[in-house]
């Protein structure tokens, strides 16, 4: 794959960049439109003229069929909820050329904004970003899907007008129907952002039917933590991942310097160890709207109704006795393990920023809040 190559009609306009060993990607043009094109490095399709015994090829073909089935299932389920120009950036085309699979999505004009920049923004702008993230993921959850790889790298920031920004959710490669994840060995997410139940599943210590949309609530809680502080949570000695620390009973507590009571309460509720104790994404979205309204000093309820835990904290606590799978084998204490696939670099991908489409993007962000309140105030601010 290199600049100028043509793949299924897509002309590569950049050289490819690496995707942590699992993929490589470039920008491309087709029929006058710009796309993001990703090549999956696994699985590869065994070509008739390629090396390997017929038996090995049959096993590989079967793995490819599963992969195709999964990709097409997710595409089918996402298409009706995404909407043209919406905030879920879905696959437009999925194809194989020779041994490799590819997917194309619309190109997003990404802003050069780091989590640190978000932490330094005014409160309203920050909450708008959080609202668009929660709303987009809530749409996904209402369709019965779990994203499975929520992290800052997969929440692209698009500039709106007047310095405001909204989220575009990308990378549905780990997306799965609630209670029905792919086999643990096929998970491609980043353990730094795993929920306790996803970590257990990955370690073979829990069943997949315990995995639901609350997984994404935990991951988004960690993302919001960074939006508030610019940093990842400090973990106790011996814990590599937040999920691990939380499962062992650590309560991740935001620094006292973050004086935003409703947002602090929200983030801490999202990081509860038991999945049932966490708010739903709808509740997260509503809590953000309330937080915006009441200001930083007031308390605001997070849960609409008290709920029974789906996966109680006790079921998780103590289960993570120490062994982590070799695949994600333990880097030293802080979460900043560079070895981890796709781990945060602390800065956003540098993609040239846009274009005259701020008006359209504001409209999308407004749709994505469903808050008359927010819409009114945005309009007021634009006047």
Ligand X SMILES: Nc1ncnc2c1ncn2[C@@H]1O[C@H](COP(=O)(O)OP(=O)(O)O)[C@@H](O)[C@H]1O
Binding site for ligand X (CB under 6 A): 19-20, 22-23, 25, 36, 38, 89, 105-108, 110, 153-154, 170-171, 173, 342, 349, 351
Q: Answer whether the bond into residue 355 is a cis peptide, omega within 30°.
A: yes
**Minimum Å distance from CB 35 to ligand X?**
8
| Residue 378 binding target from ligand X, Mg ion, none, CB below 5 to 8 Å by type | none
91 binds Mg ion (CB under 5 A): no
List CB contacts of 76: < 8 A, sequence separation 6 or more: none
**Minimum Å distance from CB 171 to Mg ion?**
4
| Residue 249 binding target from ligand X, Mg ion, none, CB below 5 to 8 Å by type | none
> Between 165 and 263, whose beta carbon lies closer to ligand X?
165
**Minimum Å distance from CB 351 to ligand X?**
5
| Residue 152 binding target from ligand X, Mg ion, none, CB below 5 to 8 Å by type | none
Cα separation, 204 vs 202, in Å, equals 5
> Between 107 and 303, whose beta carbon lies closer to ligand X?
107
Q: Using CB under 5 A, which residues numbered 162 to 201 contact Mg ion?
A: 171
Look at the block and give the residue holding tokens 């999505």.
Answer: 105
**Minimum Å distance from CB 87 to ligand X?**
12
Is 306:279 a contact under the CB 8 Å cutoff?
Answer: no
Is 355:153 a contact under the CB 8 Å cutoff?
Answer: no
**What secondary structure does DSSP assign to 193-234, as a single string?**
G--HHHHHHHTTSS-GGG--THHHHHHHHHHHHHHHHSSPPP
**Minimum Å distance from CB 242 to ligand X?**
19
- Quickly count: other Cβ atoms within 10 Å of residue 187's Cβ: 20
Q: 149-170: buried (b, 16+ CB within 10 Å) or exposed (e) per residue?
A: bbbbbbbbbbbbeeebbbbbbb
> Between 154 and 215, whose beta carbon lies closer to Mg ion?
154
> Between 75 and 170, whose beta carbon lies closer to ligand X?
170
**What secondary structure does DSSP assign to 55-115, as a single string?**
HHHHHHHHHHHHHHHHHHHHHHHHHHHH-TT-SB--EEEEEEETTEEEEEEEPP------H
| Residue 328 binding target from Mg ion, ligand X, none, CB below 5 to 8 Å by type | none
**Minimum Å distance from CB 110 to ligand X?**
5
23 binds Mg ion (CB under 5 A): no
Which residue is at the shortest CB distance from ligand X?
19
Cα separation, 275 vs 316, in Å, equals 10
> Between 174 and 269, whose beta carbon lies closer to ligand X?
174
Binding site for Mg ion (CB under 5 A): 154, 171
């Amino acid at each position: 794959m290199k600049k100028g190559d043509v793949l299924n009609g897509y002309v590569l306009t950049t050289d490819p960049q690496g995707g942590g060993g699992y993929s490589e990607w470039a920008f491309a043009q087709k029929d006058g439109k710009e796309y993001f094109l990703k090549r999956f490095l696994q699985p590869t399709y065994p070509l008739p003229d390629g090396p390997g015994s017929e038996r090995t090829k049959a096993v590989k073909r079967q793995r490819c069929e599963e992969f195709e089935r999964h990709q097409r299932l997710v595409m089918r389920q996402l298409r009706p909820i995404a909407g043209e120009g919406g905030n879920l950036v879905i696959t437009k085309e999925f194809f194989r050329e020779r041994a490799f699979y590819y997917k194309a999505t619309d190109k997003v004009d990404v802003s050069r904004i780091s989590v640190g920049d978000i932490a330094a923004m005014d409160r309203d702008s920050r909450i708008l970003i959080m609202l668009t993230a929660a709303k987009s993921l809530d749409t996904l959850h209402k369709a019965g899907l779990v994203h499975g790889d929520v992290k800052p790298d997969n929440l692209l920031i698009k500039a709106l007008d007047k310095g405001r920004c909204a989220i575009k959710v990308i990378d549905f490669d780990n997306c799965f129907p609630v209670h029905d994840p792919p086999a643990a060995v096929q998970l491609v997410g980043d353990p730094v952002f795993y929920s306790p139940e996803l970590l257990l599943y990955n370690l073979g210590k829990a069943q997949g039917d315990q995995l639901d949309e609350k997984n994404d609530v935990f991951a988004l809680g960690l993302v919001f933590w960074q939006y508030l502080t610019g940093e990842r949570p400090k973990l106790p000695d011996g814990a590599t991942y937040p999920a691990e620390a939380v499962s062992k009973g650590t309560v991740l507590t935001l620094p006292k310097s973050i004086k935003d009571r409703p947002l602090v309460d929200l983030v801490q509720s999202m990081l509860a160890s038991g999945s049932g104790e966490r708010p739903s994404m709808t509740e997260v979205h509503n809590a953000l709207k309330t937080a915006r309204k009441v200001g930083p000093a007031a308390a605001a309820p997070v849960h609409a109704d008290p709920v029974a835990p789906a996966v109680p904290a006790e079921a998780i606590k103590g289960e993570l006795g120490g062994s982590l799978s070799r695949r994600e084998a333990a880097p030293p204490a802080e979460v900043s393990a560079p070895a981890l696939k796709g781990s945060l670099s602390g800065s956003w991908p540098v993609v040239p920023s846009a274009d005259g489409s701020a008006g359209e993007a504001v409209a999308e962000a407004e749709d994505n809040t469903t808050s008359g309140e927010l819409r009114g105030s945005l309009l007021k601010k634009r006047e």
